[in-house]
Amino acid sequence: MAVFVFDLDGTICFSGNEIADPILQQLWTLIAPDRVVIASARHPVNIMEVLPSGLFERFDIIGANGAVGYQKGKLVYGAALEGRGVLRILAELDRLNCAYLAYGTDFVVFSPAFHSLHARVEVNIGPLLRVGDASDYDSVIKILVLPTDPDGKALSFCQDVGGHSLFAHQDGTFDIMARGITKAGGLLALGYSFPVDAAFGNDSNDVPLLRIAKEAVCVGDHAAARSEADHLIEDGPNLASRVAAKIAQIRLVVASPHGNLAGQPATGYGSTLRPGNPIP
């Protein structure tokens, strides 16, 4: 039984609203014989938005960059930030008039400063996600910071505070989670062991996944992700079809006893374990 781990946005989901159809067809072929994990920066409720009905319960889900995990549709774990740190960060973001979304496993706190993403998240308020407030700060698992000012003050402050993990995205937004949180750590929390057979990613928060995969695939041009990859899929025409073809190719290889595409034995870390890149 092979284990395939996929980042979502920019890796297998390019519209923000759904998984590209050629890729979705490949995911369906993996369900019966293999284990499929979606490991995203999104909150699980936001992951549900892009999965066809029933797949959330059939895939294992790692959300908030590793801060929360689900199996068979049930919450398994959530790793909260320290409450006083959350209070300090949100107070400074409010002073800077910087928008954010602070998530718990079942709530979201909206910043006073408005951002267009707020409206998209508001449609998810319901049985699985409520509006939180200051009384929930001890249970915040992720802060998505949404700067619009190019001066970088919000990022600089949050980097200087320390005591947490921070992932900056190419669009200028960044995520804050508890110290040590990674998607690879989320796999461990769900009971997986390393190496996994294949991991697909496109951003800095996917680097820990790519490091512990026999077949590491980078979609796009992020330098850190590319440096950890065995396979590169460049941006451009027919991207979804090319990603789907790579899934199919790797599926055939990991099902074979003859090793991986990089020429390494199937039982080892292959070419993804590199000097200076410790297993997280």
Amino acid identity for residue 199 in this structure: A
Structural domain boundaries in the chain: 3-77+182-272, 83-178
Overall residue count recorded for the chain in this entry: 280
Q: Which residues pair with 74 in a beta bridge?
A: 71
CA 194 to chain centre: 18
What percent of the chain has pLDDT above 70?
Answer: 91
Whether the predicted pLDDT of 280 surpasses 50:
no
CATH 3.40.50.720 fits 3-77+182-272, yes or no: no
Look up tokens 């979304």; give the residue.
Answer: 101
Q: 26: which DSSP letter?
A: H
- Reference 157, options 138, 141, 134, 176; nearest CA is 176
Give the number of C-alpha atoms closer than 13 A to the C-alpha of residue 51, restricted to the C-beta side.
26
Confidence at residue 264, expressed as pLDDT on a 0 to 100 scale:
38
What are the pLDDT digits (tens) for 144-203? Answer: 999 988 789 999 999 998 889 999 888 899 999 999 999 999 999 999 999 999 999 999
CATH C-level class of 83-178: alpha beta
What are the pLDDT digits (tens) for 72-111? Answer: 999 999 999 999 999 999 999 999 999 999 999 999 999 9
What are the pLDDT digits (tens) for 120-144? Answer: 999 999 988 999 999 999 999 999 9
Count of Cβ atoms closer than 10 Å to residue 39 Cβ: 30
Confidence at residue 32, expressed as pLDDT on a 0 to 100 scale:
78
197: three-class secondary structure by DSSP? strand
User: What rounded mean pLDDT belongs to the chain?
Assistant: 90
What are the pLDDT digits (tens) for 236-271? Answer: 999 999 999 999 999 998 876 655 454 333 322 222
Find out whether 237 and 162 touch, Cβ atoms under 8 Å.
Answer: no
Give the angle subtended at the CA of 234 by the CAs of 187 and 37, to the nearest 5°: 20
Amino acid identity for residue 250 in this structure: I
What are the pLDDT digits (tens) for 106-122? Answer: 999 999 999 999 999 99
Count of Cβ atoms closer than 10 Å to residue 60 Cβ: 22
Copy the structure tokens of residue 190: 């769900």
